Amino acid sequence: MIIAIDGPAAAGKGTLARRLAQHLGYDFLDTGSLYRGVGLQVLRAGGDPADPKAAKAAAERLDLKLLADPDLRDEAAANAASLVAAQPAVRAALLDFQRNFARKPPGGRGAVLDGRDVGTVVCPEAEVKLFITASSEARALRRLRELQEAGQAAIWDAVLQDMRDRDARDSRRDVAPLKPAADAVVIDTTSLSPDQVFEAALAIVDAKR
Ligand code: CDP
């Protein structure tokens, strides 16, 4: 079984996806980390993530060590990710890896993937598609707390603005824009706890198993 979880930044996709994978004994892939890795690789080489040549070269030769780099989670990597992610050549270079993982997960039981286009482009055949969303204020507050917990200085206005800019870029791009698949179940987590989101998602998965 493939479970596709899409949605905007800091909506709770990653938390939910990890928990579902652990509960079901499935493998988990955070597809955003691939785009973050490409963005970070371009930044480290002194390049511009909006430059198609630099972004394509990084995507075709992604250094997998970067996926464990502490800088992968910071806002510079997030913004670079969203710039490289708008480019068709970058998305094409990362597609096979994601599809292979979903169809032949290492543990052989099932896969949970989270991102922006898992249900629409990467795995349109996924048995379960969830679109996890929340108000931009709720999401910015979660991201602010994450950054503060990681010991980074973070300013509310800047976090909210960055998130709105990134959502707008992810939703308006021509290639694989952020949007729910026609057959996705939308869960708004604005006033739900992580436990409530997990229970709601598990009920949907169980109904399909
Ligand atoms: O953790 P957060 O939700 O903030 O972001 P992420 O999932 O790590 O994704 C970072 C960026 O990568 C997004 O803003 C998208 O531009 C891009 N991305 C994408 O285009 N397609 C995906 N399947 C996953 C991420």
User: pLDDT-based confidence at 117, cuts 50/70/90?
Assistant: very high
Burial of 6 (0-12, 13-18, 19+ CB in 10 A): buried
- Domain 2-203 belongs to what topology? Rossmann fold (3.40.50)
In short, whether 128's Cβ falls inside 6 Å of ligand 1 is no
Question: For the segment 91-109, what is each residue's pLDDT rounded down to a tens digit?
Answer: 999 999 999 999 999 999 9
Signed CA dihedral, 135, 141, 142, 146: sign only: positive
* pLDDT score of 152 more than 90: no
Question: For the segment 82-91, what is each residue's pLDDT rounded down to a tens digit?
Answer: 999 999 999 9
Domain boundaries, the chain: 2-203
The average pLDDT across 181-188 equals 97
**Dist. CA 49–CA 81, nearest whole Å:** 8
Q: How many A from CA of 9 to the centre of ligand 1?
A: 7
What does pLDDT average to over the chain? 96
Query: Residue 14 CA: which ligand 1 atom is closest?
Result: 1
Percent of the chain's residues with pLDDT above 90: 95
Residue among 29, 35, 174 to mutate when testing ligand 1 (max atoms within 8 A of CB) = 35
**Dist. CA 41–CA 190, nearest whole Å:** 33
* pLDDT score of 153 more than 90: no
Question: For the segment 127-144, what is each residue's pLDDT rounded down to a tens digit?
Answer: 999 999 999 999 999 999
Residue among 82, 84, 112, 145 to mutate when testing ligand 1 (max atoms within 8 A of CB) = 82
Amino acid type, 96: D
- Please state the separation of Cα 76 from the chain's center in Å: 16
Q: How many A from CA of 72 to the centre of ligand 1?
A: 12
* SS3 of 90-149: HHHHHHHHHHHHHHCCCCCCCEEEEECCHHHHHCCCCCEEEEEECCHHHHHHHHHHHHHH
In short, whether 91's Cβ falls inside 6 Å of ligand 1 is no
User: pLDDT-based confidence at 209, cuts 50/70/90?
Assistant: confident
In short, whether 98's Cβ falls inside 6 Å of ligand 1 is no
What is the pLDDT at residue 67? 96
Residue closest to 77 by CA, chosen among 29, 30, 41, 130: 41
Residue closest to 20 by CA, chosen among 150, 103, 135, 129: 129
Query: Residue 6 CA: which ligand 1 atom is closest?
Result: 23
